Structure 1
């Protein structure tokens, strides 16, 4: 996967790691056996951000972290490492047979950047990779995988919510202003990730998280020039 985040630092004795081949999808499957991803991270003795990077394929987990994550749910380490054999250990609390292809839905990540400052959408963008999400987690959020896409953010106007280089998932089914939230919008042929807020007079404020950037206002009579591409629903976590 085309991500540039640094890998997790390992302590002495934690240099055993796994192959990347499908590992992120299997770690996600185990994490989703927990009540929440936060609980899964705590069980693994890792930060939530670390778990999210493993699932995104951005970092290589330490053996002991995966072992803790698996042991609590009686999941086979061999299955996590290779994908071969049964997911659950013999005698474990086997919930159901797991077919990875059925469990996961995939969201295309495009080689285009959403400008959070001054960039523009790149026409004819190519798909870099597919981001794996459990179908259950998407359904829980009320999302249709066929209406999702992912791009990266440029600039710092949405710090501290979105940082330069962050990957965001857009729900194209939410292309109208439902309420104050972060949307990807097209305005004057430029694409921006911004917070939108409707005003009493019908105008829409386009707000940057970074206060060094001024709030823009689109008057009611010019709302036709404001195209909402979709709502940002994920940026390393549901938002």
Structure 2
């Protein structure tokens, strides 16, 4: 974003004591910087009256996220000062212990490659960063944030279902084993495969790519680490 903008001293006008805090803060910041609301609207790619209507008429009711972020960057302030939810309302999940909140869950992304190819050895499970999900959506799916991890798929054996570089959300909750996609460990190798019941208590380990053979292993040889409940990737 280009933060250079023509200024006009005092052009935002006085702050109305009855104005809600986000609008009042925007007016005060504009006055401090000496920039008009019309000029700020132009910075956002909006018509000249956009922020004037936001401040004086309450339309829109709140700033869109991208507009709020751009203004916060321009003024060098936290987005919360312009109406964003405070950081305390965000749910963050560390390596093991979540802190509950209403709207969001930050799920750990682990530096593990669940191989959809020949297989890879599991690495250090400490999170490298996090991927944010809607807390409401997770609850609708019956998922507990503390039991979730995000890992990357490596290889092509699960194409077209999963592609190399896709990210998968893995639920580690203890559940009865059902047919479906799971992350497993076999011979100290981490894999993402489709599992189905086999003969005499064995498990069939299936690659969706028909170029790869179907395997069958004794249940005791397969450590089921979690169920794949979501995938995401580039288009």
Q: What TM-score comes out, normalization by structure 2 length?
A: 0.58
Q: Which residue of 2 aligns with 1:76?
A: 63
What corresponds to 1:180 in structure 2? 179
CA distance in 1, matches of 2:194, 2:157: 11
Report what 1:212 is aligned to.
211
1:124-203 to 2 correspondences below 5 Å = 124-174=124-174, 176-177=176-177, 179-199=178-198, 201-203=200-202
CA distance 1:207–1:232, change in 2 (3 Å): same
State the distance in 1 between where 2:213 and 2:227 align. Answer: 21
CA contact (8 A) 1:175 1:229 kept: no
Gapped runs of 5+ residues in structure 1?
1-15, 18-62, 65-72, 89-97
SS in 2 for 1:204: strand
Aligned counterparts of 1:197 and 1:232: Cα–Cα separation in 2:
14
Question: Based on CA coordinates, which of the two structures has the bigger radius of gyration?
Answer: 2
Please state whether the residue corresponding to 2:219 is helix, strand or coil.
helix
Question: Is this contact kept in 2: 1:107–1:149, CA < 8 A?
Answer: yes
> Is the partner of 2:120 in helix, strand or coil?
coil
**Displacement of 1:200 after TM fit?**
5.9
- The answer (yes or no) to whether the contact 1:169–1:234 under 8 Å persists in 2 is yes
- Relative contact order, CA 8 A, sep 6+: which one is greater? 1
How big is each residue's C-alpha offset from its partner over 1:4-53, in whole Å with a ceiling of 9 and x where there is no partner? xxxxxxxxxxxx79xxxxxxxxxxxxxxxxxxxxxxxxxxxxxxxxxxxx
Paired residue secondary structure (1:107): strand
Equivalent residue, structure 2, for 1:20:
none
The 1:74–1:234 alpha-carbon spacing in structure 2 relative to 1, beyond 3 Å, is farther
Equivalent position SS for 1:137:
helix
Task: Report how far residue 112 of structure 1 moved.
Answer: 1.8
**How many residue pairs were aligned?**
156
Give unpaired runs (5+ residues) of structure 2. Answer: 3-44, 47-59, 73-78, 92-100
| Structure 1 pair 99–123 and aligned structure 2 pair: CA distance change class (3 A) | closer
Give 1:74 shift: 5.7
- Alpha-carbon deviation of 1:106? 1.3
Q: Is the 8 A contact 1:176 1:230 kept in 2?
A: no
* Structure 2 residue matching 1:106: 3-state secondary structure: strand
Deviation at 1:176, TM superposition (A): 4.6
State the superposition RMSD in angstroms. 2.8
User: CA offset at residue 234 of structure 1?
Assistant: 1.3
Contact 1:175-1:228 within 8 A present in 2 as well = no
Change (3 A) 1:164 1:74: farther
